[in-house]
Amino acid sequence: SASTTVPERNPSFSMLSSDDIEYFKGILGEKNVVQDEDRLLTANTDWMEKYRGSSKLLLLPKTTDEVSQILNYCNSRCLAVVPQGGNTGLVGGSVPVYDEVIINVGLMNKIISFDKVSGILVCEAGCILENLITFLDAQGFVMPLDLGAKGSCQIGGNVSTNAGGLRLIRYGSLHGNILGVEAVLANGDVLDMLGTLRKDNTGYDVKHLFIGSEGSLGIVTKVSILTPPKLSSVNIAFLACENYFSCQKLLIEAKRKLGEILSAFEFLDNAAMDMALNKLEGVRNPLPPSLHNFYVLIETTGSSESSDKEKLEAFLLHAMEIGLVSDGALAQDINQALSFWRLREGIPEALQKSGAVYKYDLSIPVEQMYDLVEEMRTRLGAPTKVVAYGHLGDSNLHLNISAPQYDEKILAQIEPFVYEWTSKHRGSISAEHGVGLMKANKIYYSKSKNTVQLMASIKKLLDPQGILNPYKVLPHSLST
């Protein structure tokens, strides 16, 4: 197993009874109260197949009112629940630890309104991210958020994890782009914070508590999102660098020279490239065969085809002349552009297919980031593979250690070293994936004692019995 220290089942939670199930059927109807074993196995298992719960019940509400009724009942019965979206989370937060009831708002997938003047989209939380991207594209707009899991993750899950993704460098985090949220509290109270305003300083901005709280404070049922217009000119370059210092210099140059049109700056090392080429069907290296140590993917998005291209070409020429880049390809058509993205976005899938993977999602100052990767390689040696990639433009490293199987000895070589190293450099042990179950007991590496104590007080206020996503986010010593 993945060996996360799992706390005992909290004995104050009730066991599910047949009366409970009848009650839920009365609210949701027979078919949206799921007890089918195959569907439950899927819902009990996370994307990496690393965490597995034993829930006997999956509930599929269709309206906010249904969510409210279910939660009100669960709270009165002290039945624990796990909010689940597309179940693409990577920290064991989206699956039950024990027998928690799974609530998935996937049937709440309607677009409520779209204002073409302001670009503000209001939708239900169960909308799949890719469907929102497609809808907006037809309207001449884009989502400020994109990530490899777009085909199955839900916007409610994205908001609940404050997902970062591939365009954060351009559009900023969801704390800036989510203008409103409707959420249901543990006791069933509905909080209408579904504003569509850019500016609203009427006291505490409570919706932000629900952005990134990973289902521990309420169930997100609706969101409003500020979406930027789709611009006519998108270009993407796939580049090779021979050392990490060049990647850094290239980032500084890109920010300075591409500034307003820069829309992505991603990197992968040679080990990540190998992993993608070996494990993904139909993926090829865009560059001619030759050994390179690092690869960088740069995307620009702007409104002038000719001047954007000119800018990017001048940038690339300069980067080659001063030796930052040793080879590169500029996508010539949409298919090539998609194939560059497929290679980058496919890395988590390639790792998932290659056996056990220890995943770390770290914010570390760019200058020091790759030192950690090299130290880790030295510590571990064969047969592990240390694979590094991520959102370099946001100082976000995805450090992955691939091994033939999960092994306590390997884990002991990685942890607590990786967390101590990150903490020492004042980084974050979770840049974008959240805390979930995996890092609930590690939170002090990145947050002060008093801050965590305040988090626990907020949790207690909003969910006094702790029925919402128990054992997750907060350290176990504070959560029961």
Contact characters 337-376, ligand FAD, x per CB under 6 A: -----------xx---------------------------
- Number of residues counted as binding ligand FAD (CB under 6 A): 37
219 binds ligand FAD (CB under 6 A): yes
469 binds ligand FAD (CB under 6 A): yes
Contacts with ligand FAD in 14-53 (CB under 6 A)? 47
212: its two tokens? 């990134």
Contacts with ligand FAD in 143-162 (CB under 6 A)? 147-149, 153-154, 156-158, 160-161
As measured in angstroms, the least distance from the Cβ of 105 to ligand FAD is: 5
Contacts with ligand FAD in 105-144 (CB under 6 A)? 105, 125
Q: Which is closer to ligand MLT, CB of 216 or CB of 402?
A: 402
328 binds ligand FAD (CB under 6 A): no
As measured in angstroms, the least distance from the Cβ of 298 to ligand MLT is: 16
Give residue number: closest CB to ligand FAD.
157
Judge whether 434 and 215 are in contact, CB under 8 Å: no
Q: Which does 53 bind (CB under 5 to 8 A by kind): ligand FAD, ligand MLT, none?
A: none
Which part of the chain contacts ligand FAD (CB under 6 A), choosing from 17-25, 82-90, 226-234, 319-327?
A: 82-90
Contacts with ligand FAD in 234-273 (CB under 6 A)? none
Q: Which is closer to ligand FAD, CB of 127 or CB of 330?
A: 127
As measured in angstroms, the least distance from the Cβ of 306 to ligand FAD is: 32
Give residue number: closest CB to ligand MLT.
348
Judge whether 470 and 81 are in contact, CB under 8 Å: no
Judge whether 446 and 477 are in contact, CB under 8 Å: no
84 binds ligand FAD (CB under 6 A): yes
Q: Which is closer to ligand MLT, CB of 66 or CB of 146?
A: 146
As measured in angstroms, the least distance from the Cβ of 71 to ligand MLT is: 30
Q: Which is closer to ligand FAD, CB of 74 or CB of 153?
A: 153
Q: Longest C-alpha distance within the chain, in Å?
A: 73
Q: Which does 61 bind (CB under 5 to 8 A by kind): ligand MLT, ligand FAD, none?
A: none
Contact characters 197-216, ligand FAD, x per CB under 6 A: -----------------xx-
Contacts with ligand FAD in 423-442 (CB under 6 A)? 432-433, 436
64 binds ligand FAD (CB under 6 A): no
Note the residues at the interface with ligand MLT (CB under 6 A): 148, 347-348, 361, 390, 398
- Which spans of this chain sit near ligand FAD (rule: CB under 6 A)? 47, 82-90, 93-94, 105, 125, 147-149, 153-154, 156-158, 160-161, 163-165, 214-215, 219-220, 348-349, 432-433, 436, 469
